[in-house]
Amino acid sequence: MAEPAAPLRMTAAEYLAWESEQDEKHEFHAGEVFAMAGGSPRHNFLSLRMGARLDAALHGRGCHVLSSDQRIAARRGERYVYADCVVACGAVRMEPGTSDVLASPCIIVEVISKRTELYDRGEKWASYQRLPSLTDYLLVAQRTVRVEHFQREAAGWRYSEHEKAGTVILANGVALEVDAIYDGAFELPSD
């Protein structure tokens, strides 16, 4: 998680109105506003690569792959966040009263960085788990070839880890080749 943006405190409604006028992205948690930091070239590459791979794999399935600019209602009125890549399938639902806050993500991707890893695995993941539409959560490592996959099942969340020559199989049956995700990534600087 980034540092608090000056000591900004506001209601969820105030945040949503204020954020739509900002040049930079900010997350919101229980009245506190946090500025989002930029990513390394490798982080940005992996975010874009995941979006491209997901878009190609989901083509014709009624899904929309959205960039890191898409705000997500992780907990309505309490937590609004941005992921590195997000997918909504079927009828895309926005939070009531908004036109830019996604309420129905089914796949969320976070590229892990040193500064955000604990947040992505902790508070953010705890919020994501409560989203009834979410079927797959992917953590993409920057410093090594590794995609961690949390997939919703009837009994809870199943965890799997995929490295070189591995394949991630999403809940909808779509396959993502790990080597294709990382092809060219290590030519770029990381965090």
Nearest CA to 65 out of 136, 164, 17, 161 is that of 136
Please report the pLDDT score of residue 6 as a whole number. Answer: 52
- Max CA pair span of the chain: 47
- CA-CA-CA-CA torsion sign (124, 34, 29, 26): negative
Burial of 158 (0-12, 13-18, 19+ CB in 10 A): exposed
Degrees (nearest 5) of the Cα angle 56, 162, 108?
Answer: 50
Residue 186 carries which DSSP code? Answer: G
Please report the pLDDT score of residue 35 as a whole number. Answer: 86
Please report the pLDDT score of residue 36 as a whole number. Answer: 86
For the domain bounded by 39-187, which CATH number is listed? 3.90.1570.10
Average pLDDT per run of 10 along the chain, which is 191 residues long?
A: 58 92 91 87 97 97 96 94 97 94 98 92 95 98 97 97 98 97 97 86
Could you state, in order of their start, the residue ranges of all structural domains in the chain? 39-187
